Amino acid sequence: MENNEILKKYAALAVKVGVNIQKGQTLILNSPIECAHFARMISETAFEEGAKDVVINWNDEISSKIRYMKAPEEIFDVVPEWQKEFYTSYAREGAAFLSISASDPEVMKDVNPERIARFQKSRRSALKEYSDRLMSNKNTWSIVSVPTEAWSKKVFPGVSTEEAIEKMWNSIFKIVKVDKEDPVAAWEEHKNTLEKNMKILNDYNFKYLYYKNSIGTDLKIELPKGHLWLGGADKTQDGIEFIANMPTEEVFTLPLKTGVNGIVVSSKPLNCNGNLVENFSLTFKDGKIVDFKAEKGYDSLKHLIETDEGSHYLGEVALVPHDSPISNSNIVFFNTLYDENASCHLAIGKAYPVCIKNSDHMSEEELEKAGVNISLVHDDFMIGTADLEITGVTYDDREIPVFRNGNWAF
Ligand code: ZN
Ligand code: ZN
């Protein structure tokens, strides 16, 4: 077991900087049972910081797998009313939501992907109000990771379980800056660096971005009028700052729903609900995915894309330099929270409404009119490479290098 001092520092970072818990606020914590030790530390810190209550949702991926394998078909179309009520009512009363993301990347390998897709769709429909609130920063939320046995062994094969977990802890501590003397100050500095590039991109107000690299990506993305680049800290409408992903290395915005054309090739495996999708490509016409290929995990990708109308379109454009801490670690984590922050990425599905100006006052129909994609899913996939070139085109037709050789050109 890692020494408790550094774990406590990590728990404090997640509670104070991640969700930035406020006095009298309730914290909902989603945790795998294997991460109980860390979850208890989170709970302790949250109460010490003045939380009114900490409610823990324990989950166990092996039990979920058993359910997917053995349960009768019809249960995958239903989500009990109380589960919907749980998330929705806590969200409405202004709770903070913290999730520990740590799963065996291939836990669902033997499960029929159709069952997973059916249940994910039912769950996402039932929890729509809750996830809409989080995606529009009405509640504070954050995701952090803690090593589990199966996940660590997949990332560090060929060493003992203890050694793999140890290596995983050390990587995580380094990447989320818990190894620093003052992690909170280190995050403050990091936020400022991201804000610098965010500001440059917002000032250019690009109309298009062109992507090109040697693995076959040749893509043109139109950005909607009024788009905003965001990065680092998020803010609720009441002005409470939080960091939705720890780590975060990205600056991101949304594409115009109908403005994506060309082909994009994946650069890292995608963990899609417990199945890996590898070496895949997507072809777009007027925003829509009109063709796709995958060397591995084709069915999982197909179910994701066919979830609803919006899952045939993109909802996020995110820029991460190739020369960045996670990417330089040369570790593939098979976990989107980590891999997406090592690589430029896009997301299939819903766009963050906060990426468009004045979204607070817009209905779902108005958002769609402004070019914001609406879907039940939002799944990031990685496309960044060491030779990726991105060129921005301004409204007065100037071509500005944004990325050269995988890194910021500014
Ligand atoms: Zn992202
Ligand atoms: Zn995303």
Per-residue pLDDT 10s for the chain (410 aa) are 458 899 999 999 999 999 999 999 999 999 999 999 999 999 999 999 999 999 999 999 999 999 999 999 999 999 999 999 999 999 999 999 999 999 999 999 999 999 999 999 999 999 999 999 999 999 999 999 999 999 999 999 999 999 999 999 999 999 999 999 999 999 999 999 899 999 999 999 999 999 999 999 999 999 999 999 999 999 998 899 999 999 999 999 999 999 999 999 999 999 998 999 999 999 999 999 999 999 999 999 999 999 999 999 999 999 999 998 899 999 999 999 999 999 999 999 999 999 999 998 899 999 999 999 999 999 999 999 999 999 999 999 999 999 999 999 98
Ligand nearest to the CA of 341: 1
* Under 8 Å between Cβ of 159 and 193: no
Residue whose entry in the numeric block shows the structure tokens 């239903």 = 78
The alpha carbon of 25 and the centre of ligand 1 are apart by a number of angstroms equal to: 27
What angle (nearest 5°) sits at the alpha carbon of residue 11, between those of residues 5 and 12? 90
Specify the pLDDT at position 360: 85
Terminal Cα-to-Cα distance of the chain (whole angstroms): 43
Ligand sitting nearest the alpha carbon of 315 = 2
- Ligand with minimal distance to 230 CA: 1
pLDDT of residue 89: 98
Q: How far apart are CA 173 and CA 183, in angstroms?
A: 10
Strand 260-265 to 218-222 pairing: antiparallel
Q: Output the DSSP codes for 224-255.
A: PTTB--EES-EE-TT--EE-SBSS---EEE--
- pTM score over 0.85: yes
Among 320, 37, 314, CA closest to 194: 320
Q: What distance in angstroms lies between residue 252's CA and the mean position of ligand 1's atoms?
A: 6
Q: Quote the pLDDT of residue 225.
A: 96
- The predicted pLDDT at position 2 comes to 55
Distance between Cα 270 and ligand 1 center (Å): 13
Read off the tokens for 213: 């690299």
DSSP 282: E
What is the Å distance from ligand 2's center to 47 Cα?
30
Angle at 118 between CA 270 and CA 146, to 5 degrees: 40
- In three-state secondary structure terms, 50 is coil
Question: What residues does 329 pair with on adjacent strands?
Answer: none
Instruction: Compute the distance from residue 73 Cα to the ligand 2 centre, in Å.
Output: 31
Cα–Cα distance for residue pair 279/269, rounded to 1 Å: 7
Which one of the ligands is nearest to 318 CA? 1
The pLDDT, as a whole number, for residue 27 is: 98
Distance CA 379, CA 311 (A): 9
CA distance 266 to 216: 9
CA nearest neighbour of 46 among 118, 142, 138, 115: 142
Cα 318 to middle of ligand 1, angstroms:
5
Q: How many angstroms is it from 378 CA to the middle of ligand 2?
A: 6
Query: What pLDDT does 61 receive?
Result: 97
Please tell me the number of the ligand nearest to residue 229's CA: 1
**Would you state the structure tokens that stand for residue 313, as one six-digit string?**
């379109």
H/E element, 337: helix 336-339
Q: Which residues contact 236 (CB under 8 A, 6 or more apart)?
A: 137, 138, 139, 140, 242
